[in-house]
Structure 1
Amino acid sequence: MFKPSIKSPLTTAILAVIALLLYFLSENTRREVKAPYYDVKITAAEEMLRALETIHNHRLTKGVIAEELGDPLAISLVGQQYSLTTTEVGLLSSKLTAINPNFAGAIVDMLKQAGVQAGDKIAVATTGSLPGLNLALFSACKVLGAAPVQITSLGSSSWGANEVDFTWLDMEKVLLEEGIFDFRSTAASLGGGNDIGIGLSQLGRQTLREAAARNDIPLIEESDLQASIAKRMEIYGKIQDYKAFVNTGGGIAALGHPANNDIIEPGFNHRLLPKNYPGIGVINLFGSEIPVIHLSNLDRLRRQYDLPLAPNPLPPIGVGRVFAEEKYDLRVTSASLILIALLLMGIFRMDKKIFKFSEDGADPDSLI
Structure 2
Amino acid sequence: MRPLPAALRPRPARTPCGTGFVALCAGLALYAAAATLIVSLVSSPAFTARVPAGPARRYIDEQALEAARVQALAIAAAGEARSRLGLGLDAEADRYGTGLIGEAYSGITTTLGQIEAKRSAATPEAAALLVRLLREAGVSSGAVVAVNASGSFPGFALAAIAACGALDAEARLFLSLGSSSWGANNADFNVVDIVSAAASAFPPEYDYSIVGVSPGGSDDRGLDMDSELLESMIARLEAGGLRVSSPSSLEESVATRAAALDGDGAAAALVNIGGNYASSGADLGLSLATGVVSPGSAEVPPGPGLMQSFMRARKPVVQLLNVRRLYESRGLVFDAPPWDARNARVLYRRTSYALGALLLLPPVALAVVFAARTGRRGRKSEGP
Provide the TM-score with structure 2 as the length reference: 0.72
| Structure 2 equivalent of residue 50 of structure 1 | 73
CA shift in 2, pair 1:209/1:238, >3 Å = closer
Partner of 1:364 in structure 2? none
Q: Give, in whole Å, the separation in 1 of the partners of 2:168 and 2:332.
A: 25
Q: 2:294 aligns with which of 261, 270, 282?
A: 270
Deviation (angstroms), 1:336: 8.4
Q: CA deviation at 1:69?
A: 3.4
Aligned: 1:133 with 2:156 = yes
Question: How is 1:280-319 mapped onto 2 (pairs within 5 angstroms)?
Answer: 280-289=304-313, 290-312=315-337, 315=340, 319=344
Contact persistence 1:104–1:136 (CA under 8 A) = yes
Number of aligned residue pairs: 320
Structure 2 contact 93–115 (Cα < 8 Å) conserved: no
In the alignment, structure 1 residue 209 sits paired with structure 2 residue 234: yes
Native 8 Å contact 2:158 2:195 kept in 1: no
Contact 1:83 1:163 in 2 (8 A): yes
SS of 1:185's equivalent? strand
Distance 1:70 1:248 in 2: 20
After TM superposition, the structure 1 stretch with the greater mean CA deviation from structure 2, 282-291 or 128-137, is 282-291
Q: Given residue 162 of structure 2, which amino acid in structure 1 is its aligned partner?
A: S
| In structure 1, C-alpha distance between the alignment counterparts of 2:73 and 2:236, rounded to whole Å | 24
Q: Are the structure 2 counterparts of residues 71 and 131 from structure 1 closer, same or farther at C-alpha, using a change threshold of 3 Å?
A: same
The reply on whether 1:106 has 2:106 as its aligned counterpart is no
What is the CA distance between 1:209 and its match in structure 2? 1.8
Change over 3 Å in CA distance of 1:269–1:331 after alignment to 2: same
Q: CA deviation at 1:239?
A: 6.0
- Larger mean CA deviation between 53-62 and 41-50 belongs to 53-62
Deviates more, 1:159-168 or 1:295-304: 295-304
Q: Is the 8 A contact 1:192 1:252 kept in 2?
A: yes
Deviation at residue 256 of structure 1 after TM alignment: 1.4
Write the distance in 2 (CA, Å) between the matches of 1:272 and 1:81.
39
Which of the numbers 181, 187, 190 marks the counterpart of 1:167? 190
CA distance in 2, matches of 1:317, 1:219: 41
CA–CA separation in structure 2 for the residues paired with 1:317 and 1:40: 19
User: CA RMSD, aligned part only?
Assistant: 3.4
2:112 to 84, 89, 113: 89
What residue is the counterpart of 1:79 in the other structure?
102
Q: Which amino acid is 2:305 matched to?
A: G
> Following the alignment from structure 2 to structure 1, what is the Cα–Cα distance between the partners of residues 264 and 310?
6
Question: What is the CA deviation profile of residues 306-364 of structure 1, one whole-angstrom value per residue up to 9, with x for unaligned ones?
Answer: 2221113652597042322463630465378679989x99xxx9xx99xxxxxxxxxxx
* Counterpart for residue 232 of structure 1: 257
Give structure 1 stretches of 5+ with no counterpart.
1-30, 354-368
After TM superposition, give the deviation of residue 216 of structure 1 in Å.
2.4
Q: Could you say which residue in structure 1 is the equivalent of 2:91?
A: 67
Question: Does the 8 A contact of 2:156 with 2:273 survive in 1?
Answer: yes
Q: Where do 1:334-345 residues align within 5 Å?
A: 334=364
Q: Which amino acid aligns with 1:282?
A: L
**In the aligned structure 2, how far is the partner of 1:292 from the partner of 1:207?**
33
Q: Which amino acid aligns with 1:101?
A: P
Alignment correspondent of 2:25: none
What is the match of residue 26 of structure 1? none
AA aligned to 1:286 is F
Deviation at residue 274 of structure 1 after TM alignment: 4.8
Closer, same or farther in 2 for the Cα pair 1:145/1:134, shift >3 Å?
A: same
Matched with 1:13 is none
Give, in whole Å, the separation in 2 of the partners of 1:140 and 1:317: 20
Match of 2:6 in 1: none
Instruction: State the Cα distance separating 1:49 from its structure 2 match.
Output: 0.5
Contact 2:146 2:261 in 1 (8 A): yes
Match of 2:348 among 298, 323, 337: 323
Question: What SS is found at the alignment partner of 1:47?
Answer: helix
Q: Is the 8 A contact 2:68 2:124 kept in 1?
A: yes
Question: C-alpha separation between the residues in 2 aligned to 1:193 and 1:143?
Answer: 34
Checking the alignment, whether the CA contact within 8 Å between 1:191 and 1:197 is kept in structure 2 is yes
Deviations 1:50-90 (A, max 9, x none): 1111112222333323334354333x100001001101111
Contact 1:79 1:158 (C-alpha < 8 Å) held by counterparts: yes
Residue identity over aligned pairs, in percent, reads 26
Gaps spanning 5+ residues in structure 2: where?
1-37, 48-58
